[in-house]
Amino acid sequence: YMSPCQNLNGANKTMTTEFILLGFSGGQGVQILLLLLFLAIYMLTIGGNLLIILLIVSDHHLHTPMYYFLGNLSCLETFYSSVILPRMLYSLLTGDRSISLIGCITQFYIFGILVTTECFLLAAMSFDRYLAICKPLHYTNYMSDRLCIQLTVGSWLGGSLAITITISFMSQLVFCGMNEIDHFFCDFGPVINLSCSNTRIIGTLVFIMSSLCAFPPFLLTWASYVCIIISVLRVPSISGRQKAFSTCSSHLVVVTVFYGTLIIVYVVPKANSLRELNKVFSLLYTILTPLVNPLVYSLKNKDVQEALKKIPTKLAFLAGFRNTQL
Ligand SMILES: *[C@@H]1O[C@H](CO)[C@@H](O)[C@H](O)[C@H]1NC(C)=O
């Protein structure tokens, strides 16, 4: 196998120091439409997730493992969409699509840590729900504050470790020749395609890493929800069953779309015809997940809605407090 640069002699080799992120094709009109669409999505994502973090931190009714997980998830997703969307909005606004090699690798590094952590965190959250619903009598024994902290910290550390190993291999690659990335952010596959080093080892490594980081959490998540659904079926009241089902099914749709698209993009070998489709799949896990997760997991939740309702009272109290002080 000869990569493009191996044919050239050393003197002719030009090292790539800058990439062009092609983003989405389409004329000026399409670009403006995308700009407005992504801007709206970004503001909603940040607003929704920050609101949840504020609620969870400020309301002591929400100081339980489940909400600590949700708080961490919202925190993660605030960063997650901030790694990708502002850069993309800037390109759409100014037409400047270049990104330095270091910038590109950094973007993949941070994104990779966050996406892997999210895989683990979603699994931890479904395990927590499994314990709460299927082992209600022992829930507080099993899900102690200690285990909750271990699972959250473990998710963050696991994600960081997996991507740091990948990056240490990636940093040894040489990039030369073509520098156009046919994607909207510096994702692993499209970047690695431009390297003129041998990428077989790192390709295998990422295949193994992404299989390990995506399949087990995915299976654990599904297993948890299957157990939950089975135990919900035993609930005598129809309305109770319906309520539990609607919660479970919305969680399941979200995690299946998230893990499913990740597995398709990172694990399944790619045919060229899948390129454009890959961009669409990437949109689902990079941009849609952080937007819908707060809705599906938190804002539909009764305790969170209660906490939301208390905000005006709290603000009024604060205002009154300040007035009496003056
Ligand atoms: C994240 O999880 C840790 C450990 O469980 C918890 O102490 C912290 O409050 C959580 N963060 C948020 C924003 O909920």
Domain ranges of the chain: 18-317
DSSP string for 85-153:
HHHHHHHHHH---EEEHHHHHHHHHHHHHHHHHHHHHHHHHHHHHHHHHHSGGGHHHHS-HHHHHHHHH
Which amino acids bring their CB within 6 angstroms of ligand 1? 53, 56, 68, 71-72, 75, 148-149, 152
Of residues 188 and 314, more confidence is placed in: 188
Q: According to DSSP H, which parts of the chain are helical? A: 28-58, 65-94, 101-134, 139-142, 145-170, 188-192, 200-233, 238-266, 275-283, 289-293, 302-325
Indicate the pLDDT class of residue 5, thresholds 50, 70 and 90. Answer: very low
What atom in ligand 1 is closest to the CA of residue 71?
14
Q: At residue 95, does pLDDT exceed 60?
A: yes
For atom 2 of ligand 1, the residue with the nearest CA is: 68
If pLDDT is split at 50, 70 and 90, which confidence band does 3 have? very low
The answer to whether residue 193 scores a pLDDT higher than 50 is yes
Determine the Cα–Cα distance for residues 197 and 193; give it in Å rounded to an integer. Answer: 10
pLDDT of res. 179: 86
CATH number 1.20.1070.10 is the correct assignment for the domain at 18-317: yes
- Cβ-Cβ contacts under 8 Å for 227 (sequence gap 6 or more): 130, 134
**Number of the ligand 1 atom closest to the C-alpha atom of 148:** 5
User: From ligand 1's centre to the CA of 148, what distance in Å?
Assistant: 9
Please give the distance of CA 248 from its chain centroid, rounded to a whole number. Answer: 20
Ramachandran area for residue 184 (φ above 0: left; ψ -120 to 50: alpha; else beta): alpha
Overall average pLDDT of the 53-70 stretch = 89
In this prediction, residue 238 carries a pLDDT of 80
Residue 277: per-residue pLDDT: 81
Distance 152 CA to ligand 1 centre (A): 8
Q: Enter the tokens of residue 147.
A: 């285990």
Query: Who has greater pLDDT, 61 or 9?
Result: 61
- pLDDT band at 13; cut points 50, 70, 90: low
Residue with tokens 């510096």: 186
Q: Which residue's CA is minimally distant from atom 8 of ligand 1?
A: 68
10, pLDDT greater than 50: no
How high is the pLDDT of residue 11?
Answer: 41
Atom of ligand 1 nearest to the CA of 153: 4
Mutate to test the pocket of ligand 1, among 58, 125, 152 (most ligand atoms within 8 A of CB): 152
What number does the ligand 1 atom closest to the CA of 70 have? 14
- Tell which atom from ligand 1 comes closest to the C-alpha of 68: 14
Given ligand 1 and candidates 67, 72, 156, which is best to mutate, with the most ligand atoms within 8 Å of its CB? Answer: 72
More confident residue, 301 or 222: 222
pLDDT tens digits, 143-180: 888 999 999 999 999 999 999 999 999 888 888 888 88
